[in-house]
Amino acid sequence: MSNPTTAAHDPLAPSISVSREGATATVLLDRPERRNAIDSEGWDRLRAIFDDLARDDSVRAVVLTGAGGNFCAGADLGGTRREEHPLARMRRVGDVALALVEMPKPVIAQVAGSAIGAGWNLALACDLVVADTSARFSQIFARRGLSVDFGGTWLLPRLVGLQQAKRLTMLAETIGAEEARQLGLVTWVCAEGDLPAFVSDLAGRLAAQPPLAVAQTKSLLHQGTRQSLADALEGEARAQAVNLATEDAPAAFRAFLDKSAPPAFTGRWAVR
C-alpha cells in the first residue's frame, strides 16, 4: 500500500481514487491543496465507491486515507455547489455516512494531519482508526455557525459518552492523537513514519479473517447498541447458523481439532 505523497497534485486527477493490493482496497481522498475537503461531486463519488466496494466479494478490507499529509478537512464550504435545497444536499451527505457505517467489510481510517468536522466523523464512521502523532481532530461545526453532521451526533455519544460528546462539539476544541486515543476515538497511535506499514499489516490481517462472519459480527455490534439482550441473542443465533452453512467455520473447527494451521477463509457456502 503506497504512502500518500506530498508531490505536486495533478489537477486533472480524480479527487478520490481507489487502488488495490491483494484483498485490500484503499480509498484516497486526493485534494491536498484543500486538505482533502470534499465538494459536492466528491460526496457523490464517495457514495458510489462505498456501494461498489460493499458489493465486491474480492475486497476483504478497506482503508480510507488522505493525500498530502492530511486526512480530511470536512466539507468544502468554499467549493462550487449544485443548485439544490440545503436539506436535499445534507441528505446526500447523510447517505454517504450510512453507506460507510453499513459497509459489510472492515474499514480502517488511516489518519495523519487534519481530521476536521465531517472529516473527523468520516474517520469515526470507520471500524478502526489508526492515527500518527501529527493527527489533529476537531468537531469544528460550532465555529462555523453549524450543528454537527455526518453522523457525529450518533457516533460520538456511543464512543465517548454524552458529556464528552457535548464538550467536543459545543467547544469545538482541537485535540491531538494521544488524547483522542485516551477518549476511545482512535484505536492506535503510531509514529509518523510507521503509519502506512502499520495499517497495511492491519488490513492484511483483517482481510484474512472469515468475511461473512466478520460482516455479521459488525452488523450485530451496530444493532446491539439499540436492542434488548434477548434481541441481541436471537440475532447472534441466526448469524451463527449462517456461519455454519459456510466452508469457513467447519474448516476452522477441523484445524483446531487436528492442531493444524489455520485455514484460508473463503466465505463460500458449504451448502449448494
Mind listing the pLDDT tens digit for each residue in 213-258?
A: 999 999 999 998 888 889 888 888 988 898 889 999 999 989 988 9
Per DSSP, the residues of 41-97 read: HHHHHHHHHHHHHHH-TT--EEEEEESTT--B--B-TTS---S--HHHHHHHHHHHH
For residues 169 and 238, membership in a common domain is answered with no
- Residues 80, 114, single domain; the answer is yes
Residues 45, 132: one domain?
Answer: yes
Residue 263 belongs to a domain: no
What pLDDT digit, counting tens, does each position of 116-148 carry?
Answer: 999 999 999 999 999 999 999 999 999 999 999
pLDDT at 5 over 60: no
Residues 6+ apart with CB under 8 A from 108: 61, 62, 63, 64, 126, 127, 128, 129, 130, 199, 202, 203, 206
109 with 30, same domain? yes
Interatomic CA distance for residues 111 and 123, integer angstroms: 8
Residue 224: domain span: 211-258
- Do 159 and 202 share a domain, yes or no? yes
User: Which cell is 87 given?
Assistant: 436539506
pLDDT at 13: 57
Question: Does residue 35 fall inside a structural domain?
Answer: yes
The answer to whether residue 200 sits within a structural domain is: yes
Residue 32 pLDDT level (bands cut at 50, 70, 90): very high
d(C-alpha 35, C-alpha 68), whole Å: 7
Q: What is the CATH number of the domain that holds 230?
A: 1.10.12
Q: Do 200 and 217 fall into the same domain? A: no
* pLDDT tens readout for residues 52-109: 999 999 999 999 999 999 999 999 987 666 778 888 889 999 999 999 999 999 999 9
Asked whether residue 81 is assigned to any structural domain, the reply reads: yes
Structural domain ending residue among the three candidates 207, 224, 247: 207
DSSP 8-state assignment for residue 248: H
**Are 171 and 143 in the same domain?**
yes
Q: Which residues in 70-90 are b (16+ Cβ under 10 Å) and which e?
A: bbbbbbbeeeeeeeeeeeeee
Residue 143 lies in a domain: yes
Is position 42 within any domain? yes
Of the three residues 207, 227, 248, the one that is the final residue of a domain is 207
| Measured distance CA(160)–CA(185) in Å, rounded | 7
pLDDT score, position 80: 62
H or E stretch covering 147:
none
Longest CA–CA separation in the chain, Å:
64
11 domain residue, yes or no: no
The predicted structure's pLDDT at residue 77: 80
Sheet containing strand 61-66, edge to edge, reads 16-21, 24-29, 61-66, 107-111, 128-132, 188-190
Does the predicted model carry a pTM greater than 0.85?
A: yes
pLDDT of 33 above 50 = yes
Q: Quote the mean pLDDT of the chain.
A: 91
Does 69 share its domain with 170? Answer: yes
* CATH number of 70's domain: 3.90.226.10
Amino acid at site 189: V
Kindly state whether residues 234 and 202 are assigned to the same domain: no
Query: Read out DSSP for 164-233?
Result: HHHHHHHH--EEEHHHHHHHTS-SEEE-GGGHHHHHHHHHHHHHTS-HHHHHHHHHHHHHHTTS-HHHHH
Domain count, the chain: 2
Q: Looking at the structure, tell me whether residues 244 and 169 fall in a common domain.
A: no
108 and 148 share one domain: yes
Residues 168 and 223 reside in one and the same domain: no
